[in-house]
Structure 1
Amino acid sequence: MLSVTGLRKVYGRVPAVDGVDLDVPAGTLTAVLGPSGCGKTTLLRCVAGFERVDAGAITLAGRPITGVPAHRRRIAVVPQEGALFPHLSVAGNVGYGLDRAERRSGRVEEVLALVGLDGYGARMPHQLSGGQQQRVAVARALAPRPPLVLLDEPFSALDAALRTELRRDVRQALHADGATAVLVTHDQAEALSIADQVAVMNAGRIEQSGPPTTVYQQPANPWVATFVGEAVLLPGTTHGATVETALGRLPLQNPAADPARRTTTVLVRPEQIDLHTDGSGVTATVLRHDFHGHDALVALRLHDGTEVSARVNNGAGALGVGRQVGVAVRGTARAFDPAT
């Protein structure tokens, strides 16, 4: 549905978007994930037609739109704040971009039901909560059946519990309506939980793009590994299908075709690290534990001075600072080519 090729946008001498390639299949939700200032919002604005691109091409449903004005692209945008018309009712806001026949067809009521606001058409924006206003904004975007919906961090102003509920419902609404969408976000949990595809962006470039499980479990480089979730990065030396690290000899997820020994950087996720109090495993000392309710992140120092983190479910409070425990790794480690 959407194809971006070699896209480049420069402000002065600073490239905000630097040679981006991105394909978004029809009927899917792609999350563009990255830190503040990485160029993700600029990429969205270029696709929407709000910014003139300096190089590259954008194609929508097989039609080149690189130089097409924004109002002719038929792309719907959901901003960070709902930006509803305060003088129009919910139904009036949703039906604003529809002609008279479409408003009479029941499309307004249909999309309000999709976003969980069935029966809210007569209410005014000031009578709605922040989450409800964002639902109306999504319904308004879906109403004219655009070929593409762009969502610019639409959940960032909401509290954590409401944000989780709303992003789940919005994903369901998009899929139920068969919409193609691109979500811009800096929230890793948000991108991984609702997107069909995640494109991780850094310094104007897309570092990796793929299904959420692939991006998390098989990151392309150490930067992606540390940005998409917690990561334990260790130096290591490969031995065929295994790698020697401070956590012991570990099986490799991606053994090199060349069996020669080589130094590398190794990734292990904190949830792979088990703690033992029976004397087994590599000896480590507890430095601290950060309690998160459902789990805790325990910081440890290994016998050689290396610091790692383990994610544990229960009983973290019993592991007092200074206590010695055994550390073992479940599953495989991922090795990175030194060039990455």
Structure 2
Amino acid sequence: MTALVIAEHDNQSIKTATLNTVTAALACGGDVHVLVAGVGAAAAAQAAAQIAGVAKVILAEGPSLKDGLAENLAAQVLAIASNYSHILAPATASGKNVAPRVAAKLDVAQISDITKVVSADTFERPIYAGNAIATVQSIDATKVITVRGTGFDAAATTGGSATVENAAAVADSGKSSFVGREVTKNDRPELTAAKIIVSGGRALGSAEKFNEVMTPLADKLGAAIGASRAAVDAGYAPNDLQVGQTGKIVAPQLYVAAGISGAIQHLAGMKDSKVIVAINKDEEAPIFSVADYGLVADLFDAVPEMASKL
């Protein structure tokens, strides 16, 4: 058995979600190969070759792969798919865009968002917003899988000595074209990779208060800032900060939830955090059921005081 991991990268380095996916691939048994597709991505391929446990890196470079269009990337995977028993991608926006196309073309059932590899053909994945865990067995010849990064430790970025093999890039499918990209610039850690996250909820009352209260604490902790869906829907925080079932799934070392009641949608996105601190003036708030430390207090008093003592 050999597993193929579809790498996410910026042509220079490998993104953390790929490291978690490599760990999942290793648990499937057999060799692990990594596909790096792009333009000018030799540095990313070399970085992938250093990942512990990776046996081979396949580097595909061509104009059709420059912007990571899902149609072309899926075609690149399909060009080599017959060599693999497992094809894995991170359960990110990119992975969720590419993997279903690959599964459909191979006429197999995709196994989504796995959090554990039981055996080479059996996996665990959360259902019902994480309130139940389904054990799924696949008899398909090729298993197409997306991996929830929070379920697996990141593979070491050093210690590997994989060979890098060049592959011909596929032709442009012509089904889509790249128009532009607006990238949010942020000096803080990326939300899904941050070790510390402080999140605010609807109780903050306004975008001004959200920034005024949460930013000093995040600055002191060197943390990323998150938000509940209610806070995002109310316009207090941008959509890319949303943590939850319909936002980003996170599992930092420390998660501080201020003014977040703990709706099931939000808990599904952060309950795997190592240490959870909840601040809410409602002592019956569901967030306290998953919190390691709970403070029943007004966040407008407690959060600034916490920041002042750090």
TM-score category, normalised to shorter length: under 0.3
Task: Tell me the TM-score normalised to structure 2 length.
Answer: 0.28
Task: Tell me the TM-score normalised to structure 1 length.
Answer: 0.26
Which of the pair has more CA radius of gyration? 1
The structure that is strand-richer by fraction is 1
The structure that is helix-richer by fraction is 2
